Chains A and B, each alone.
Chain A
Amino acid sequence: MPKFILDGKEIEFEQGQTIIQAAKKSGITIPHFCWHESLSISGNCRVCLVEIEKMPKLAIACSTLAAEGMVVYSESDKALSARNAVMEFELINHPLDCPICDEAGECKLQDYAYSHGNGESRFNEEKAHKDKRVPLGPLVMFDGDRCISCSRCIRFCDEIAKESQLTFIKRGDRVTIVTYPGKQLDNPYSMNVTDICPVGALTSRDFRFKARVWELSSTKSICNGCSRGCNINLEVRNNQVLRLTPRQNDEVNSFWMCDHGRVNTYKFINAEDRVDSPYLRRKGALARSGWDEAFAAASSELKSYSKNEIAFIGSPYATCEDNFILSKFATQIIGTKHMDFIRHFNTSFGDNFLRQGDVTPNSFGAKAVGIFPGKGGLDLDGIIKAVKDGQIKAVYLMEDDMIAFNPELQEIFSKLDLFIVHATNFNKTTELADIVFPASTYAEKHGTIVNSDGRVQRLKPAVATFDVDRALEGMSLSRWDKFGTKFDSWAEGNKRDARSSWRILAGLSGAMGHKYKYGTAEEVFMDIAKSINAFSGLDYEVIGELGAKLKLDSVTKPVIA
């Protein structure tokens, strides 16, 4: 491999790589604002100016191709003074309103001002002013004063979202960003511009002024908005999820996620209508109960039906571990073959970028771990028909709002003698249920889900419940020195009495006289890996932060309706 020298270190590169790319591959970051790995090169910010031997002028590392034997200095006097000069220019007209800026704490300009700035300003004139608080679209707010005109957002719309909606207008220090006439920034991926904006010029209207970012803890997780399984960070304060941000995974979502995933998939976690303990129907109304009482009730109710009168409905929203235990519970303890799960397809949601027509995160996994009818057993349509005909008298439903899915089922399911439901939130389905178990959301449990490409990815608890504490592994917090103290804003807030569905089932089977030996979700997964071919060789470590592929030949891919 050819090499060049950067600040005395040998850097390997591939032909066609720029200095900044090759340096990044070798773990060295040359300061930059406008350059972004997956966008075209713009070269406008000039922060990455470096000195190159035998070149008369400084060159920008983002667009200069690395060449064999090239000698580059990013920390020489000339390079540093250019960087300081550029930083000074960036800051003279910047409002320096960090104390009220949402970006503060994760702002490149702020960070670079600390690490590369002069530490003082020689600018004593009036700053240039531009428009503030301009809604560019339903989800993104623009502050012209803060903008450093790096054009990342414009390039994102043109090149990634492939809907040209933003452009520069005017010239010089009057340059600002607007939407094209008659357009707004409303593409399905619009909020990614708030992530790549290196300053607080573009902020999320969903998150604006909700928290200072350093108050948030960040836990690596997976979006549950569709079967793409975009890698995300769950950002939490006081046990409340306040925002989701995309996490880079080149195999799945690169740097991006869609707006639906970002704004529509976390609010139910914090909602008031969470199921906060087991509930039993008494005198026609659901009433709170203890866990043991609920387990005993469910156990004795289930025992009063023959196995062919009971059907199980798994969930593409629940983890592989949850579905695996449900499948085991249904086949081994109850002995029924009537088992399936509901497919949620919305072909108009899918696109040819990230969004998938299967709008659940784990239908692949649910099927792969055994949620399908046994030989001669009933599938979903069969179960519904049998409920209607009265052959099925009891249904055990895990984490799905069946009635919202199909309102016609309300009448049919109200015929059931026994309807046991695991639910995260009260909904149309829980209204019919006889027993409701409080299920943890994807943000409150360990587990795995499988995306539409057959990639197993891990969920970790970012929100604590009575059952599971926050996962420390891979979590980041701006102030670990606060951790566990009374200033740990992570630990405050409402903890709910919810459990992972597999834990609920394990408890229930215990009440039915069958003890499962699993202590943790990881142990459940180890059993999955042992007993299901597609998962063999996998464990939580192998899956890691970026996921691992299932052995695809041994599982049939679910077909989109």
Chain B
Amino acid sequence: MEKIVLPDIKDLHLIDVYIQNGGYTALKKAFSQTPDDIIDQVKKSGLRGRGGAAFFAGLKWSFMPKTSSKPKYLCINGDESEPGSFKDRQILEFNPHQLIEGTLIEAYAIQANAAYIYIRGEYHKWIKLLEKALADAYEYGFVGDKMKEKLGGNYSVNIYVHKGAGAYICGEESALMNSIEGKRGYPRVKPPFPAQNGLWGCPTTINNVETVANVPPIINKGWEWFSKIGEPKHPGTILYGLSGHVNNPGIYELPSGTLLTDLIYKYGGGVPGNKKILCVIPGGSSMPPLRGEQIEGIKMDAESLKAAGTSIGTAGIIVMDEDTDLVQVLARIAKFYYHESCGQCTPCREGTGWMLKLLNRIAKGEGSTHDLDLLISVASNIEGNTICALGEAAAWPVRFMITRFRDYFETCVSREVTIPVANKVHSLRHTEYPLAPIKD
């Protein structure tokens, strides 16, 4: 089976090996075409984003204004921080030049004035590896001023590696841009979207590392070839990250639409001790979990998972066997989102802490069924009411885990519902009592 992003070639991270294996030819080929041609090919290839939302990459590129009085920028999102997701660092380690080549092609396609590759701060090792690869690419003339001479044509671009400082939120595209600008990593209110108002208020496109790494093969082998790999609606290979209770955890590059059970049993070697599976989170910790008995026949691509009531996310599959304490799991996931909530907008800032406190109480054995309902209500109150998608990321695991494993959770809480005595205060919302106007 063909591997596009992480082919089995020894020392591919070295620029000479990469070139020997056809590296940087896609770049040359791209430069012989117009930017619109490139965008068109990526559009037709059906390539979808690998960062979580599975948005059509070519369509996103086409949002960039063709003419702009401002500079245009390209951002590559390597702030891989979702628990269960560890695919981008494989690219940085084993095939960094394909990322660089993809970045250059995309930069050319959107006519970017500069490109930034943003990598999470904890990836010290991988930042060094990418910086080394980038230095080599500069030396060979593929990046920067020497591009024109090396590749012909009139376009050149610099790539900057930007190191995060350890915040999950900076993987959110607009928070990432604020972070590059030197500001607090707060997501921005949208609209305006990055294509109008991105880095420093200029038109910007942002893509995930894996998405961009798919671009050189598309240019080299053609969009038709790519569009025939895997599921037609979400073509290509996907770097599936397998973790948790599997015998062979790791990254598996397989066509989209691979069966979840195949991933776990055929490639992952099954569950240690042949235990039953209690729960699988298919796309990184923020995606809705599936029950063990639900996973039969589920294909791993955006549309199939959507139909199954969950989402592809970053394709980080977390497998939990029958002996897993789901309350502890959920409390740990809630702790992560509590810790990582940026605190900018109210529902997530306050709600993540509330959910964690409730779950910790349940984990201590002091919960009641009322608390389960409350958790679902709090999660639903966060969902859809926040500035960025981290609201959903924090709410979904709680809401779906409890609703889908209600039977499990009910065994962990007291049936005796002790509704706390609330601080009853007046509420005039439903009365006719005239209120004075509220001043600013």
Contacts and interface: CB of A to CB of B under 8 A. Distances in A.
Main secondary structure on A side of the interface with B: loop
Contacts of A371: none
Contacts of B352: 172-173
Interface in B299-342: 338-342
B432 interface: no
A282 B341 CA distance: 76
A126 interface: yes
B423 A120 contact: yes
A555 to B, nearest CB: 35
B427 A114 contact: yes
Contacts, number: 136
Interface stretch (A43-51, A348-356, A381-389, A458-466): A43-51
Interface stretch (B53-61, B83-91, B208-216, B353-361): B353-361
Contacts of A43: 189, 345, 387
B388 to A, nearest CB: 11
Given A58-B384, A112-B438, A171 B343 contact: yes
Interface stretch (A89-97, A329-337, A399-407): A89-97
Interface string A98-118: 000000001010011111111
Contacts of A113: 425, 427
Nearest to A172: B341
A88 interface: yes
Nearest to B168: A171
A195 to B, nearest CB: 8
A43 B174 CA distance: 14
Contact of A44 (B340, B387, B428): B387
Interface string A20-53: 0000000001000000110001111111010000
A119 B354 contact: no
Contact of A172 (B184, B339, B381, B439): B339
A123 B350 CA distance: 11
Contact of B420 (A86, A122, A170, A255): A122
Given A29-B438, A44-B345, A46-B386, A89 B351 contact: yes
A491 to B, nearest CB: 22
Residue among A121, A167, A196 facing the most chain B CB atoms (10 A cut-off): A121
A85 B377 CA distance: 9
A172 B385 contact: no
B347 interface: yes
B273 interface: no
Contacts of B422: 120-122
A168 B426 CA distance: 33
B349 interface: yes
A506 to B, nearest CB: 39
A124 B420 contact: yes
Interface residues of B, number: 44
Interface in B350-376: 350-354, 357-358, 361, 374
A173 B425 contact: no
A46 B342 contact: no
B221 interface: no
B294 interface: no
Contacts of B346: 44-47, 86, 89-90, 148-149
Contacts of A111: 435, 438
Contact of B429 (A86, A116, A172): A116
B192 to A, nearest CB: 10
A119 B426 CA distance: 6
A86 B377 CA distance: 12
B99 interface: no
B280 to A, nearest CB: 28
A63 interface: yes
A498 interface: no
Residue among B358, B424, B438 facing the most chain A CB atoms (10 A cut-off): B438
Residue among A36, A45, A124, A255 facing the most chain B CB atoms (10 A cut-off): A124
A58 B385 contact: yes
B343 A57 contact: no
Contacts of A120: 422-425, 427
A149 B387 CA distance: 14
Contacts of B167: 171
Contact of B343 (A85, A119, A121, A174): A174
Given A86-B385, A121-B423, A255-B440, A115 B435 contact: yes
Contact of A173 (B350, B358, B429, B438): B350
A36 B439 CA distance: 11
A46 B343 contact: no
A77 interface: no
A29 B435 CA distance: 13
B22 interface: no
B182 interface: no
Contact of B344 (A85, A108, A149, A174): A149
B132 to A, nearest CB: 32
B189 A173 contact: no
Nearest to B424: A120
B387 to A, nearest CB: 6
Contacts of B347: 46, 85-86, 89
A115 B354 contact: no
A252 B424 CA distance: 45
B334 to A, nearest CB: 12
B385 A93 contact: no
Contact of A123 (B354, B385, B426, B437): B354
Nearest to A38: B440
Contacts of A112: 438
Given A44-B387, A173-B349, A108 B438 contact: yes
A175 interface: yes
Given A41-B189, A125-B358, A172-B341, A149 B423 contact: no
B385 A49 contact: yes
A125 B307 CA distance: 37
Interface of B: 167, 169, 184, 189, 338-347, 349-354, 357-358, 361, 374, 377, 381, 384-387, 420, 422-429, 435, 437-440
23 contacts: A36-B440, A43-B189, A44-B345, A45-B346, A85-B385, A86-B347, A108-B438, A113-B427, A114-B426, A114-B429, A118-B427, A119-B427, A119-B429, A120-B423, A122-B374, A122-B377, A124-B420, A167-B184, A171-B169, A171-B342, A175-B343, A175-B344, A255-B440
3 shortest interchain CB distances as A-B pairs: A119-B427, A175-B343, A85-B381
Given A46-B347, A93-B353, A172-B341, 14 more contacts: A44-B344, A44-B387, A45-B345, A58-B384, A89-B346, A89-B349, A90-B350, A113-B425, A116-B429, A125-B357, A168-B343, A171-B339, A172-B349, A173-B352
